[in-house]
Amino acid sequence: MNGPISWFSSTRRLIRILWTVRRFGLDELVVSGAASSSRSPWLLRMTRWLRMGTIREPRGVRLRMAFESLGPIFVKFGQVLSTRRDLLPPDIANELALLQDRVPPFPADQAVAEIERGLEMRLEQAFAEFGREPIASASIAQVHRARLHDGTQVAVKVLRPGMLDVIEDDLSLLRTGATLAMRLSADARRLRPMEVVDEFDHYLHDELDLVREAANANQLKRNFEGSTLLRIPQMYWDYCRRNVLVMEWVEGIPIGQLDRMRAAGIDLEKLSRDGVEIFFTQVFRDGFFHADMHPGNILVGNGPDDFNRYIALDFGIVGTLSDHDKRYLAQNFLAFFKRDYRRVAELHIESGWVPPNTRAEELEGAVRACCEPVFDRPLREISLGIVLMRLFQASRRFNVEIQPQLVLLQKTLLNIEGLGRELNPDLDLWVTAQPILEVFIKQQVGWQGFDNKVRQEAPRWAQLVPELPRLLHAALKAQAEPAMDPAHKRLLEHIERGQRRTLRWLQVGVVLLAVILALQIWRYLN
């Protein structure tokens, strides 16, 4: 029975999507880019005939309204799509960025059933009190307030029932739509809709596992242990499952409520600087950052313990960066703000993200053309997010595949900048970011960087170094064993004599290296 029911459900959903496309005149977004195609004349005539009345709103507004009409998954898709400013026209990206998770809650009875199913116990066994009225409702989940039997106040996050089936159906339809758009429109192919849908798929499935979210929160909490800048609520692991998350209840003022914060005596200028410092610390110190920092996920403490401190919520989306990514980004930022475009081009080539036959001077010219208009303004007005976006745009002209983690970073940086300048219009992000970047660079290159790496690798090298002479001897002996004619034997003996001399020097070098490592290990242990 599941097959016919699923087919019927998908068909009904597809009909609704097509009706929405017609209602909001979204057909032109697909076929207008196919003007040179042999299919386009009849497609344009047909879609104009099907369209309902005269459409006056701009295309971005219509696309946003269509996503809102299609429900939570498409709202979430629009939010993710809005982050791909390296792919979308600005008018569409700006309009989709307005999408919010103002989604009607699902019934309390369903929430209770999901919680009991996940925890495998009755609600009253888990909680002394449970607020049936949700305090927040979003695309994927909603939140209730509760109290544990020991008196601890907690927030209970529960997934919407049946979300996985809905998501799989909608993702299948989105992939079908993306394939159709790519066949009909050259512009759609340039925007790479299949890549965007795959990225959305990844985010959604991560957010559907609340145990993963709780683990992300714990990692951030450890990274900022003892910090006066950021608080991460405690997770209660005995009550965390894939569909249920229970965490410490925290009080604070939503960061978008500026009047309330001013009335409470919050220092908005300090808050704006702290936000930038938190972000760059996560990126360049930890390589692990909260990647969903929109105002709905941030509180500001107004109690005695958390006053003027950020409180982060909702850890479903995080970004990670390798040491290579961090070095690349830090050096690029520093080179950008020194207007050293040659160095930016060289960094692209060194990273291996640009084809090896790329001419540095051509890439340098492209980067200069993108960035000079940005830098023709005071530093405090320059957006690091826009700089990064322009870097990606310039890179695409040279067939660079931008790494997903860097796109996530750019999206988060734009959020942080927008938030910081809302708190303090005169915020100079570069003044706050530059010292962090310079410290990071000093820790990665030069003697200090070498010293840090030796300390990090010392335990591993301490085991490997004593084995090197034996391994070298075994390798040389293995080469000398095969029987050869006299001429080859004389040649081999000559090579062996040279190898023995080399081995003696290697042994001296190994001893010296062992002494250096012993000193470093002693410093590391003391």
| The pLDDT of residue 33 | 47
Average pLDDT for residues 407-422, to the nearest whole number? 78
Which carries the bigger pLDDT value, residue 5 or residue 166? 166
Domain boundaries, the chain: 11-38+50-100+165-206, 251-450
Residue of 192 and 344 predicted with greater confidence: 344
Residue 119 φ/ψ region, left for φ over 0, alpha for ψ in the -120 to 50 degree band, beta for the rest: alpha
Position 409 scores a pLDDT of: 80
Written as six digits, the tokens of 343 are: 């160095």
- Mean pLDDT, residues 369-391 taken together: 71
Confidence check: pLDDT of 404 > 70 = no
Q: Cβ distance 253 to 268 under 8 Å?
A: no
Task: List the single range of 175-189, 326-340, 428-442 with lowest mean pLDDT.
Answer: 175-189
Q: What are the tens digits of pLDDT across the range 83-118? A: 666 567 778 877 887 776 566 788 999 999 999 999
Distance of alpha carbon 518 from the chain centroid: 40
Across the range 307-329, mean pLDDT stands at 88
Cα 187 to Cα 84, 271, 401, 419, 464, distances in angstroms:
15, 42, 18, 32, 55
Greatest Cα pair distance in the chain: 96
CB 283, CB 326: distance < 8 Å: yes
Higher pLDDT, 210 or 8: 210
**What are the catalytic residues?**
292
Q: What is the pLDDT of residue 356?
A: 73
pLDDT on residue 135 = 92
pLDDT exceeding 90 applies to what percent of the chain? 24
Check residue 244 and give its pLDDT.
Answer: 97
The predicted structure's pLDDT at residue 462: 62
Range with top average pLDDT, 96-100, 314-318, 405-409: 314-318
8 A C-beta contact, residue 243 and residue 391: no
Length of the chain: 526
Q: Which is more confident, 122 or 57?
A: 122
Residue 406: closest CA among 506, 492, 326: 326
For the chain, the average pLDDT equals: 77
Examine the pLDDT at 440 and tell me if it is beyond 70: yes
Q: What is the model's pLDDT at position 508? A: 59
- The band of 28, judged by pLDDT with boundaries at 50, 70 and 90, is low
**What is the pLDDT at residue 400?**
65
User: Does 24 or 7 have the greater pLDDT score?
Assistant: 24
Question: Which tens digits make up the pLDDT trace of 484-517?
Answer: 555 555 655 666 666 666 666 666 565 566 556 5
Dihedral sign computed on CA atoms, order 387, 389, 395, 400: positive
Task: Supply the DSSP string of 410-467, one letter for each residue.
Answer: HHHHHHHHHHHHHH-TT--HHHHHHHHHHHHHHHHSHHHHHHHHHHHHHHHHHHHGGG
Is pLDDT above 90 for 307?
A: yes
> Bigger pLDDT: 334 or 9?
334
Task: Name the pLDDT band for 40 (thresholds 50, 70, 90).
Answer: very low
Residue 264 has pLDDT above 90, yes or no: yes
